[in-house]
Structure 1
Amino acid sequence: MHLQAVHKTYGTARQAVTALDGVTVDFPSGTFTAVMGPSGSGKSTLLHCAAGLDRVTGGSVIIDGRDLGTLGQTELTLLRRERVGFVFQAFNLVSALTAEQNVSLPLRLAGRRVESAEVRQALAEVGLSGRAGHRPSQLSGGEQQRVAIARALITRPAVVFADEPTGALDIKTSRHVLGLLRDLVTRHELAVIMVTHDPVAASYADRVLFLADGKLIEEVPGPVTPEDVAARMAGLEASAS
């Protein structure tokens, strides 16, 4: 996917706030990108605009060769449903459904036939083949996030957006989830875009993008160490204060 000169402004006239200011960046298939920046830098807005959850004020967002700005709401919803996956900090699983039912939910919403073998294979890929019948309350936080990852992958998306995917997990579980995402990027030729504040999480990515004041300030190719990420973040936060 590709962002070209993306601008996002909230409000009008004197009340206008620029959240993104001319961001241009590619997210090739088979790559894992971490997005970092101080509070208010535009990280979440970038994710929302790139995923088509928010309309851009200017510029273009291209997914699978389609400019999201040219799509009506129904077309945009269908594109997100079929070609975009989401993983959230809070897991966002349906508590009344089993792991297997949660994973199959995107297929059901899309009106597609649900093959039990396909769903169980998705759970097996994230190491949960024995937990298909368990509800979220019967799963650990790490297991719930792995169900969420399987759910994001079930439609075979072109891109997966991960918003602080390890924010609610302990260190050991976080590393397991990040290693899983890293492996799935390669195995499925996915583009994974992860917003995070955690330098350790960012070190799993192929590159780290640093935002400040809505602008793309720096792009650091991997491998990158947590210490290097932390130092760069400290510099940005010092400049912003």
Structure 2
Amino acid sequence: MVTALDGIDARFERATFTAVIGPSGSGKSTLLHCAAGLDRADEGEVIIDGTPLTGLSERALTRLRRRRVGFVFQAFNLVAALTAAQNVVLPMRLAGRKPQAGEVAAMLAEVGLADRAGHRPGQLSGGQQQRVAIARALVTRPAVLFADEPTGALDARSGAEVLRLLRSAVDRHGQTIVMVTHDPVAAAYADRVLFLADGRVVDDLTGPVGAEKIAVHTARLEESAR
């Protein structure tokens, strides 16, 4: 039996940006999936916006995710046949909510894509597609946004644009973000960095943490994991 997560106790405060970093196989993505209700933990409790996930039916869990949780993944996961605007409005439609006039256009403008609303994913660059994915995740104003390697498929410039958007969502709108990354530069955009190794939190740094310090910590973890 493999223990993917081992006694993790973590709280993510409102309007904060937390990065989770660690060696491959340390449990980063498993932590995100359990925290988001995509996977069920064998024991322990996960609470989102005051609602315990333990005991919820799959239907109730799906409703909670649609209304209170946003997701951004390395793969943009846009629907190829839909325009950028249609992709952004999709989670609202699934949640049975009708967007207010101008709401989707305003969200696309916020991510710098006001002039791309009618474009389909195949007509957009990778960075633009990820910005559409961020707009889609934020349009429902979720209690928490989970991002799994959101810059992993992007070049450095596009990745920086995406990270600035996430940082802005926290600073301007009080969004709560939990981001899994392997990149110390990406993690440096966060207010807090959790370091994982062997399914456990082995360090927890808060406040401005430079990429160099994060890289040193990460290198030590990787060395000890060999």
TM range (shorter): over 0.9
Q: Partner residue of 2:143?
A: 158
Q: State the shift of 1:145 in Å.
A: 0.6
Once the two structures are superposed, the pairs formed by residues 139-218 of structure 1 within 5 Å of their partners are 139-218=124-203
The unaligned stretches of length 5 or more in structure 1 are: 1-15
Equivalent residue letter for 2:20: V
Once the two structures are superposed, the pairs formed by residues 1-241 of structure 1 within 5 Å of their partners are 16-241=1-226
Q: How far apart in 2 are the matches of 1:109 and 1:115?
A: 15
TM-score normalised according to structure 2 size: 0.98
Post-superposition Cα deviations, 1:175-229, rounded to whole Å, max 9, x if no partner, equal 1110110011122211100000001000000011001111111001131111111
Give the SS at the match of 2:9. Answer: strand
Equivalent residue letter for 1:46: L
Q: How far apart in 2 are the matches of 1:29 and 1:145?
A: 24
Q: State the shift of 1:116 in Å.
A: 4.7
Q: How far apart in 2 are the matches of 1:114 and 1:149?
A: 17
Q: How far apart in 2 are the matches of 1:116 and 1:122?
A: 12
Post-superposition Cα deviations, 1:14-49, rounded to whole Å, max 9, x if no partner, equal xx1100011001101110000011111100100000
Fraction of identical pairs, as percent: 67
Equivalent residue letter for 2:67: E
Give the SS at the match of 2:196. Answer: strand
Asked if structure 2 preserves the Cα contact closer than 8 Å seen for 1:203 and 1:222, the reply is no
Equivalent residue letter for 2:214: V
Structure with the bigger percentage of strand: 1
Q: State the shift of 1:115 in Å.
A: 3.3
Q: How many residues align?
A: 226
Give the SS at the match of 2:87. Answer: helix
Q: How far apart in 2 are the matches of 1:144 and 1:46?
A: 25
Post-superposition Cα deviations, 1:47-106, rounded to whole Å, max 9, x if no partner, equal 000000001111111111111012111111000000000001111000110000000000
Q: How far apart in 1 are the matches of 2:120 and 2:14?
A: 33
